[in-house]
Structure formats: C-alpha cells, structure tokens
Structure 1
C-alpha cells in the first residue's frame, strides 16, 4: 500500500455559499469517502486571508484513485457539472507520502501546508535533521507529514502540518525554527513556494 493525500483547493466564485456547501457536503465529498481505500476526508477554511478559500483533503491508499469505485465517484451528475462550471477555482493535487512524524487525532484544529520546489535532497535533509525536530518541540505542534506531488499543478514537495492553534506562530520556539542559518541556506534554493493556513470546518461522511 502506498500512502497518499488528495488535496483539493476550491473557490466558490459564482456559486452561492449555501449551494457550494450543500454540494460539497452532501454529494461531492461523500462520494469520495465512500470509495474503498479512501479512509477519511476533511474540509478546512482559509485562516490566512488568501484564496482559494477552501481546502478538502483525503487520506488514502493511492491505488484507490485508479479503482472502479473512484471512477464512479468522479462521474459528474448534472448538478455537479453546473456547480463545477461556476467555481472560480478547483485545484486538484495528488501526493505520495515520503515521511511522517508526530501523532494527531484528526481533525486537527489548524493545518499548515507548505509546498516547495527547489533542491529536493537538501530540503529533505533539512526537514528531517533540523526543521521537524524543532517544530515538534512546540506543545501543540502535533504532526508533520511530507509528500511528493504525483499529479496536478503546484510545487513538487509538500509539508503538511497539523497544529492546535495559530498562536503557535507567535512563540519564540517557532520563530527560531523558521530562522536558522540552515533554513536560510535551504530557502535560497527554493524556486516556488506556497504557504497556506486553514481551520477545521467539517468531516466528510459517506452517503
């Protein structure tokens, strides 16, 4: 089994908010978490003021995305076709897990996703040897998972953090973890970077 993450950013655009949530919560997400191999699904709203405003993420076995059940789930009903055609953004990405540290009873109150392209080997070494250990020293920094993008657009690597509260960003320990000389050297190799912060909205339920 290859552990993966289905990561979907969306922005309602011309879709009314009530219609957007009803479609996602009662049709779109339930169809996916009902597929064998897709173990969970969560929706989060942006806390950073940036767009897209919504994140849905699903923990899964990557093989599930090539299964007959998933093909059925992806067939769009007339309603879904209408909603999707009016969305301002539907950005779907698939990642393969490359490392995991810490523990978390999902859903975490806050998730931080940091997507990067750059010197992959040096980024990996920095994360494993310095950045992850420093962050996990913070009470409330529950879990960090690292991924490699295998489908979709965006930077090549993803660090996915599950934390207790955005107040952690104000702590001296966090400022230290994000301002070391090694971090500065690694970041000088980065050619693309996306950092987003989202707060928990709800958990998908199979229909």
Structure 2
C-alpha cells in the first residue's frame, strides 16, 4: 500500500506537564483519537536525537508527531470535528481537562507528498529513526531535479537507509509558526541516523558540485534526527 497523499506534521514541546506525561498523552490518547475519528490513517510519535556536528535548528520542540492522511487540511476535515480535545492524562490528577495551547508550544504544518523513493521496496511499517531535511531553495526546479537525478541515489548508499518521502508545504494552519516556512520537507527513513551520518558514504553524498550548489542556494536548511517512540493505526 502506498503512503497517504498528505502529511500532518506536528512539532511540539510540553509547557505545563512533564515530558513523560506528554509522551503518555500522545500514545494513549491523542494518536489513537486521530486514527479512530478517521482524521489520520496512521500516526507515529518521534523524539529528537542529537546529531553529530553543529546542527542547531533553534527549536526546543523535541517531539514530532506525523500523521499520514487523505486530507490536505486534516484538522479542517469533517472527521476532525469528532476530536474531543480533552484529556485525563494532561490533568495529572485523573480528571478530564481541555487540551489548550497553554499545555504546549507547537508548530503544526500540512504537507503534500511529491515523491516516494523506495529502492529497497520496504513496506509502510514506521522507521525506527528518521532524518528530516527542511529546505527552502530559490530555484525549486533545480532543487527537485537534484533530488530525483542525484541526491536520493547517493543517500540510498548510507548504512541502514530504507526510503525517502518528499513533501511540499500545504495550506498553513492556525498553529503554523514563522513568517517564512521551509517549502520542502524530506523524511529519510534510516535504521540508525547517527551511524549513517558518521559513515564515509556521507562525504561522497555531500561532496558533489550539484549538492554544493543546491545548499548554497537554500535560504533555509534544517536537518534533524528522530527516534520512534510509538505508533497508532499500523
């Protein structure tokens, strides 16, 4: 089964509750509710891992929830109207409480799938780790050609590489942060991100003239690593 045509990407950090409580809320309440209402087909929660070298994104949001969905704007879909937006877990006292913006700092984005690169024919099981690349090129055509004609083939040589899903930014949500949001997102599924980035294969991948040209052309480039915490809908 191919991946869904759209992605809801939610990068967050808790502000009123502890990290363990935030994780419990996602895994036991929030992810299952988006699946049960049909807002999302599958969902996965990842926690950020530190990458080698200086890769500061300026973000303290170290949790990433990704929802495969059939809707370009899933939170505006009819299905989403059935979301309760209440939680027993976030109250940390066993009573229902409304899930409000006070509980978290969040950046929520809609994306549309533009390419699936799957040379090994892996299935839809969630990857144990992912490397995300957010990029905002000046020359979108050259950027796309670089990915399709060179970059993905070289990335596939990294140890533990599985596949890549590439997306373009969709309609903004009321929780999308920033005046300029990177137009493109790539999710590289890898068994062990740090091991892959420390291998000699990365030098060859990033050392081509085309790669240097594309990176120099990008106004924004954030690379972040994530480790799987839990899923729903798989």
Q: TM-score, normalised by structure 2?
A: 0.79
User: If each structure's helix is expressed as a fraction of its own residues, which one has the higher value?
Assistant: 1
Tell me how far apart the structure 2 counterparts of residues 160 and 34 of structure 1 sit (CA, whole Å): 25
Residue aligned with 1:127, SS? helix
Distance 1:31 1:134, change over 3 A: same
Q: How many correspondences in the alignment?
A: 203
Q: Name the residue aligned to 1:183.
A: 211
What do you get for the CA RMSD once the two structures are aligned?
2.3
**Structure 1 residues not aligned, in runs of 5+:** none
Q: Name the residue aligned to 1:204.
A: 232
Tell me how far apart the structure 2 counterparts of residues 186 and 39 of structure 1 sit (CA, whole Å): 34
Tell me how far apart the structure 2 counterparts of residues 37 and 18 of structure 1 sit (CA, whole Å): 25
Residue aligned with 1:131, SS? helix
In 2, are the aligned partners of 1:64 and 1:70 still within 8 Å (CA)?
A: no
Q: Name the residue aligned to 1:99.
A: 115
Pick aligned residue for 2:67 from 47, 58, 66:
58
**Structure 2 residues not aligned, in runs of 5+:** 52-58, 87-95
Residue aligned with 2:186, SS? strand
Tell me how far apart the structure 2 counterparts of residues 202 and 12 of structure 1 sit (CA, whole Å): 17
Residue aligned with 1:38, SS? coil
Q: Name the residue aligned to 2:154.
A: 134
Q: Name the residue aligned to 1:38.
A: 40
In 2, are the aligned partners of 1:62 and 1:96 still within 8 Å (CA)?
A: no
Tell me how far apart the structure 2 counterparts of residues 91 and 111 of structure 1 sit (CA, whole Å): 18
In 2, are the aligned partners of 1:11 and 1:90 still within 8 Å (CA)?
A: yes
In 1, are the aligned partners of 2:34 and 2:40 still within 8 Å (CA)?
A: yes
Q: TM-score, normalised by structure 1?
A: 0.88
The superposition leaves residues 132-191 of structure 1 with CA deviations (integer Å, 9 ceiling, x where unpaired) of 011113342101111001033420101111001120111111221122111011111111
Residue aligned with 2:60, SS? coil
In 1, are the aligned partners of 2:4 and 2:68 still within 8 Å (CA)?
A: no
Find runs of 4+ consecutive structure 1 residues off by over 4 angstroms. none
In 1, are the aligned partners of 2:8 and 2:109 still within 8 Å (CA)?
A: yes
